[in-house]
Homo-oligomer: A and B are copies of this chain.
Amino acid sequence: MAPGEAPEVLDPPSRRTRIRAILDGGKAQAGRRVVVGGWVRAGREQGHGAPDPFAFLDVNDGSCQGNLQLFVKGEVVGYPLARLTATGTSVFVEGVVRRDERAKHGVELAVTRVLEVGEVDAAAYPLPKTKTGHSLDPAYIRDFVHLRARTYLISAVFRIRSELSFATEKYFRDEGFLHVHTPILTTSDCEGAGEMFQVTTLFSQAQKLEAELKENPAPTQADIDAAKIVAKEKGDTVAQLKSAQATKQEISTTVSDLKKAKQDVLAMEERSKLKPGIPRREDGSVAFEKDFFKCPAYLTVSGQLHLETLACALGDVYTFGPTFRAEHSHTSRHLAEFWMVEAEFAFANLQDDMNYAESYVQYLCKWLLDHCQEEIEFMVKSHDKDAMERLKLVSSTPFERISYTKAVEILKDADRKFDNKVEWGIDLASEHERYLTEVVFKKPVIVFNYPKGIKAFYMRLNDDEKRVAAMDVLVPKVGELIGGSQREERLDVLEQRILDAGLPLERYDKYMDLRRYGSVRHSGFGMGLERMILFATGLDNIKDVIAFPRYPGRADL
């Protein structure tokens, strides 16, 4: 039965023009009739109370940094213009583009019809102009993750983020790489990358079981004993019938009764074992074999091992996805969830690795200069005067390449005191990295051939057996931007390195298969997207460059 027999007609489509298209078109757009929608960033009414009041609304729709100025006459709306002017109000209007020399982009929109308005109670709105203008405090708006993308700052950051994401896809595709997806859920772990989150359904299983047992309690021993008596009686009946030479039919009916009674006993015994709570083994440890994957599963800390399996089949691959660290770090540099670009290439050594890393970073910088001019200019004005120069420098200057040993020598000879002691064998601290790139070389630096003791087991051991073919790309402002290495492709060396690291060989059996069957030299690197955005924008807090930051105690929405 169809309710209501009126034909179901759809509203016509919206045919909205993005503000970017109008502003980019500039004066050539004059005379064009368009429908636009957006949110008021600033509005002012003029001639209030006069017979012909009007309002100017600076409206942004997220498509670009600039606002389109809307000119709205009171007679067009038919209600008080004050309902349009509060920051945050949404407007969906039709109008005609016209030249206006005073407007920033040389044009404004003369509104001829207001299609829809979404009002704002200015007193309640948490992001009024006063809090999001030039005095904006990123920490304040962090509490409003669901609204902050309407601010100049965060919308600029998200456009930069979007362009970096696309540039990444474009770069690797143009270079002939395949985009693959490494898993988020994993039962192996990429040694040393960090603390892992565990993924489980045991809590919800326990909850369901508890509810179920409340509804329908487990049988007691008395219940089971009673069921056993029933079964025994059925058994006796069968025996009696048989000895009385009853008909086949009579016997078979009773046998089937007996079977059922026995099954009931078994089912009750099984059910009586059900215990509320997390399932445990006899020794009291958690029975992860009862979990969804029948073993403990974790969120990935790096897709590298998986990526290697694909590179050793498809040649050149990259993945771009979320990565997780369960570290209790309360710093401006750490997130529990962040996005990583990881690339892996077969038949490639450490120098290939460095070449790809350098050309990728330069590509990203050039891309931003070509596609995010206004956003970077905004960052220069509001947060970091060096942002533009830094992009230009990195996009156009060949990276310095020095060995770790050389880097340590330079740091030892430095005329500055570091908080962290410098000697061969240490992991370089951020202060060291920034000193090298910002003070010594004043450009990006690739440090290579690190001591094996501070790097992961899978990095290829050099002939000196003291160093590994690892490399880090250091850039001004953030220090390490990219980390990579040539991977150990020799089965015997890899085995020894796993054992030396105190790791169980069997966990890496499939990883070693890559070295057993058609092993090839291969290399790769990883870059945290958020770190690249910090580099590009000059922002200091990583929580401001991701839409929904996750860190200890906070996972809003």
Chain A residues with a Cβ under 8 A of chain B: 1-4, 8, 10-14, 16, 18, 20-21, 37-40, 61-63, 88-90, 92, 116, 118-121, 124-125, 145-150, 155, 158-159, 161-162, 165-166, 169, 173, 176, 178-188, 195-201, 203-204, 278, 286, 292-297, 299, 305-306, 309-310, 313-316, 321-322, 324, 326, 328, 336-337, 339, 346-352, 354-355, 403, 405-406, 408-409, 423-424, 448-449, 464, 466-467, 489, 510-511, 513-514, 516-521, 546-548, 550, 552-557
Asked if A146 and B514 make an inter-chain contact with CB atoms under 8 angstroms apart, the answer reads yes
Q: Report B-chain residues with C-beta under 8 Å of the C-beta of A355.
A: 13
A440 to chain B, nearest CB (A): 18
Asked if A166 and B162 make an inter-chain contact with CB atoms under 8 angstroms apart, the answer reads no
CB-based closest 9 A-B pairs: A62-B314, A37-B347, A149-B313, A90-B518, A118-B519, A62-B315, A146-B309, A183-B548, A162-B178
A111 to B456, CA, bound (A): 36
30 pairs across A/B with beta carbons < 8 Å? A1-B424, A3-B467, A8-B406, A11-B350, A13-B348, A13-B349, A13-B351, A14-B348, A16-B347, A37-B315, A62-B315, A119-B518, A146-B309, A147-B517, A149-B309, A158-B314, A159-B178, A161-B181, A166-B169, A181-B547, A182-B547, A184-B184, A185-B197, A195-B204, A203-B296, A204-B326, A292-B552, A293-B336, A294-B554, A321-B322
Kindly identify which residue among B203, B349, B489 contacts A200, using a CB–CB cutoff of 8 Å: B203
A409 to B8, CA, bound (A): 14
Q: Report B-chain residues with C-beta under 8 Å of the C-beta of A408.
A: 2
Asked if A557 and B510 make an inter-chain contact with CB atoms under 8 angstroms apart, the answer reads yes
Q: Report B-chain residues with C-beta under 8 Å of the C-beta of A346.
A: 37, 61-62
Residue of B nearest to A38 (CB): B315
A209 to chain B, nearest CB (A): 14
A131 to chain B, nearest CB (A): 13
A234 to chain B, nearest CB (A): 35
Asked if A299 and B350 make an inter-chain contact with CB atoms under 8 angstroms apart, the answer reads no
Known A1-B424, A350-B11; judge A116-B186 contact (CB<8 A).
no
Asked if B183 and A162 make an inter-chain contact with CB atoms under 8 angstroms apart, the answer reads no
A514 to chain B, nearest CB (A): 7
Asked if A8 and B92 make an inter-chain contact with CB atoms under 8 angstroms apart, the answer reads no
Q: Report B-chain residues with C-beta under 8 Å of the C-beta of A339.
A: 181
Give the number of copies in the complex.
2
Asked if A145 and B185 make an inter-chain contact with CB atoms under 8 angstroms apart, the answer reads no
Asked if A166 and B146 make an inter-chain contact with CB atoms under 8 angstroms apart, the answer reads no
Asked if B309 and A183 make an inter-chain contact with CB atoms under 8 angstroms apart, the answer reads no
Asked if A186 and B557 make an inter-chain contact with CB atoms under 8 angstroms apart, the answer reads yes
Asked if B18 and A315 make an inter-chain contact with CB atoms under 8 angstroms apart, the answer reads yes
Asked if A158 and B184 make an inter-chain contact with CB atoms under 8 angstroms apart, the answer reads no
Asked if A552 and B293 make an inter-chain contact with CB atoms under 8 angstroms apart, the answer reads yes
Asked if B61 and A510 make an inter-chain contact with CB atoms under 8 angstroms apart, the answer reads no
Q: Report B-chain residues with C-beta under 8 Å of the C-beta of A510.
A: 145-146, 556-557
Q: Report B-chain residues with C-beta under 8 Å of the C-beta of A349.
A: 10-11, 13-14
A518 to B86, CA, bound (A): 10
Known A61-B315, A322-B184; judge A352-B179 contact (CB<8 A).
no
Kindly identify which residue among B179, B517, B550, B553 contacts A166, using a CB–CB cutoff of 8 Å: B179
A549 to chain B, nearest CB (A): 9
Q: Report B-chain residues with C-beta under 8 Å of the C-beta of A322.
A: 181, 184, 321-322
Among A147, A278, A316, chain B packs the most CB atoms within 10 A around the CB of A147
Known A173-B166, A198-B204; judge A92-B520 contact (CB<8 A).
yes
Asked if B337 and A183 make an inter-chain contact with CB atoms under 8 angstroms apart, the answer reads yes
Kindly identify which residue among B159, B293, B548, B556 contacts A555, using a CB–CB cutoff of 8 Å: B293
Asked if B198 and A145 make an inter-chain contact with CB atoms under 8 angstroms apart, the answer reads no
Q: Report B-chain residues with C-beta under 8 Å of the C-beta of A519.
A: 90, 118
Q: Report B-chain residues with C-beta under 8 Å of the C-beta of A406.
A: 8
A41 to chain B, nearest CB (A): 11
- New A-B pairs, 19, CB < 8 Å, besides A10-B351, A14-B349, A145-B309: A2-B405, A8-B405, A10-B354, A12-B351, A14-B347, A89-B518, A90-B520, A120-B516, A146-B309, A162-B180, A166-B179, A183-B557, A186-B555, A198-B200, A198-B203, A295-B555, A306-B547, A306-B548, A510-B556
